[in-house]
Amino acid sequence: MQVDSEDEIEVSPFDWPKGFYSDSTHAGLKPDGDDMGWIYSEVPAEAAGVYTTNQFQAAPTTLTKQTINLNYQLQAVVMNSGNANSCNGEQGISDAEMMQQMVADRLQIQANLVGIASTGVIGEPLPMAKIKAGISELKLTKNVGLTKAILTTDTHPKTMTVKCVINDQPVTITGFCKGSGMIHPNMATMLGFVTTDAVISGSQLQQLLSHTVDETFNQITVDGDTSTNDMVVVMANGQAHNQPLTDTNPDYSTFAVAFETVLAHLAKEIAGDGEGASKLVEVNVKGALNHLEGQQVAKAIVGSNLVKAMIFGEDGNWGRIMQAIGQTDAHVDIDGVSVSINGIQLVKNSMGTGIDDAEVSATLKNKVVTIDVDLNAGSAAGTAWGCDLTYKYVQINASYRS
């Protein structure tokens, strides 16, 4: 999607949109650091969400999905790390509902305006006394500690704020997320939250979110595993007082591009912070028969353990990229594929170019590795993001609970 001028979108320091508040606290779910927090809008906000496709969907995820689907509205989301409240049966459902009601009582709003998000160890009951104490400590501040409170194995918070002008009114879109391992969306062990003061209906927001997630969060992979708790939730409280954003609003494309800018940045932040990762990997595919196949091939390459290990080892073994392409059912010109890494062409017409291995190894030392592929089968493209596979990944996940 294009806008007339890049000046219409401005990446800004982290800042909550008008009418949004937050806070975080240490509830004791983790040994140290904040592990619980909330987002609050001073008015009910239009809301939309996308959720994990894992069959063992966690109680907080299921409850939030049900809550948003009632009328596409939320006024608050409470979140915790340290415990996923997943695979806990009826007790897990009851605890999620109790958590929702506690927040509603504290904020004096309806329970069906409260979303719940949890992340952490699967299969351990929520310590409800700690949850209750944590909720009692939360306040309505502008505390950005919330962005740290949801982290598990992440090495840093992942945030993004973009400002734009819609119908002559300044609009802010701010997002933050967590995710490092068990990342292979539809969705992944990731939680994402986006707030905006724009005026947009819940149904329009849902349409935009679903489309944008397919182009961003669903095009990242760290380890091929999909979690039970993932979700991305968006709240739009209308405090910018712009004209309602619909497909016919001339500034809709500006908002959509700003929205995609936020989600794409957060998606790449997750990919680059994969557990144990030392490199961010971007794969750009062109010459695909259609966009879906371009996306499929890009994600297959970035998700291949052989490719990921190759990049970690700084070994220009381009055959691993070719096998990843060939494992898909995408249309490919078998005798016409090209592959480049960081601008160095390794494959032309599906054969090696004889490039010096030392040159390839040197470029693979970069913190960002870009792989460009031409399938020579059409005019469509696709992009995906991931990371290398390191010894550290095994170390982290061999002792996750300890």
- Binding-site entries for substrate: 152, 178, 189, 275, 397, 402
Query: CA torsion sign, 56 to 57 to 60 to 66?
Result: negative
Reading the block at residue 365, the tokens are 């030392």
Task: Kindly report the number of other CB atoms within 10 A of residue 177's CB atom.
Answer: 26
> Is residue 397 a contact partner of residue 310, using CB atoms and an 8 Å limit?
no
> Is residue 134 a contact partner of residue 27, using CB atoms and an 8 Å limit?
yes
Q: At CA 176, angle to CA 170 and CA 179, rounded to 5?
A: 155
Name the catalytic one among 61, 62, 159, 189. Answer: 189
Supply φ then ψ for residue 374, to 5 degrees: -115, 115
Helix (H) or strand (E) holding 63: helix 59-71
Dihedral of the alpha carbons of 96, 99, 101, 104, in degrees to the nearest 10:
-130
Question: Residue 212: how many CA atoms within 13 Å on its side-chain side?
Answer: 28
Instruction: Please indicate whether residue 216 is annotated as part of the active site.
Output: no
Can you give the length of the chain in residues? 402
Query: Residues with catalytic annotation?
Result: 189
